[in-house]
Amino acid sequence: MKPHYCAIIGDINKSRALERRGAVQKKFEAAIDTINKEYKDEIASKFLITIGDEFQGILKSPAESHRLVRSFQELMNGISFAFGIGVGTLSTELNPVSAIGMDGECFHHARSALQAAKSGGQEVLFSFNDPAVPLLNVVTGEWESRRRKLGETVQKIMELHKSGKSQMEIASVLKVSQQFVSKSVNSKQFKEIVQFERVINEFLANADQKSMRQL
């Protein structure tokens, strides 16, 4: 059987309303370059900016897809994106150097998911042949909603905590009290969001194993 790949398509929301488009474009290009370097071991075809304010790329599997999208969102902080993530086969040859000029099931799924995300106001949607994908999208949407309610400072605490920094280090970086960091990390809401993200990544890791069995 043909190998399965994971295509990711991202697009800026309401791009025409953006100010300082030149600065945004430079930030966009730098973020793509960083993603290609940081996820090089997972990438099957390098990410690049395509038409307008879209970008796309292909991963070897969906296992790291949500983490990659989260990394990209952090790099593009302040710019709203929608993402479609699709898993499936390619009908054309894989081009490892540039994710352009290719077609296939993974891209069709990703495009469909992107359009649904933009019309439904969700940041990230998945599409592939698994009956549990609708549930995955519900969990992802709930994760997004709860995370947005945390506020910018607590979101930054979450990212630094996830990277392994101590509460004292986080307090120093963000110039807040250690007590505030401790209260945030130990809150029920914070712990629930961490659990949601763990569930998403575990599902994608299992989806990766299922796709590998189809090779």
List domains and CATH numbers for the chain.
Answer: 5-130 (3.30.70.270)
Q: Are 201 and 67 in contact (CB under 8 A)?
A: yes
Q: How far apart are CA 156 and CA 160, in angstroms?
A: 6
From the number of C-beta atoms within 10 Å of its C-beta (0-12, 13-18, 19+), residue 109 rates as buried
Task: Tell me the C-alpha distance between 98 and 48, whole Å.
Answer: 7
Question: Angle between the 152-162 and 188-212 helix axes, to the nearest 10 degrees?
Answer: 50
The pLDDT of residue 215: 36
Using a 10 angstrom Cβ sphere, with 0-12 exposed, 13-18 middle and 19 or more buried, the burial of residue 84 is: buried
CA distance 146 to 67: 17
Strands 54-59, 43-49: pairing is antiparallel
Q: How far apart are CA 34 and CA 9, in angstroms?
A: 16
- Each residue's pLDDT expressed in tens, for the chain with a length of 215 residues: 788 999 999 998 876 666 676 788 888 999 999 999 999 999 999 999 998 789 999 999 999 999 999 999 989 887 889 999 999 999 999 989 888 889 999 999 999 999 999 999 899 999 998 889 999 999 999 999 898 888 889 988 988 888 889 999 999 999 999 999 999 999 999 999 999 999 999 999 887 655 544 43
pLDDT of 150 reads 83
CB 59 within 8 A of CB 43: yes
pTM of the model: 0.88
Would you state the pLDDT for residue 129? Answer: 87
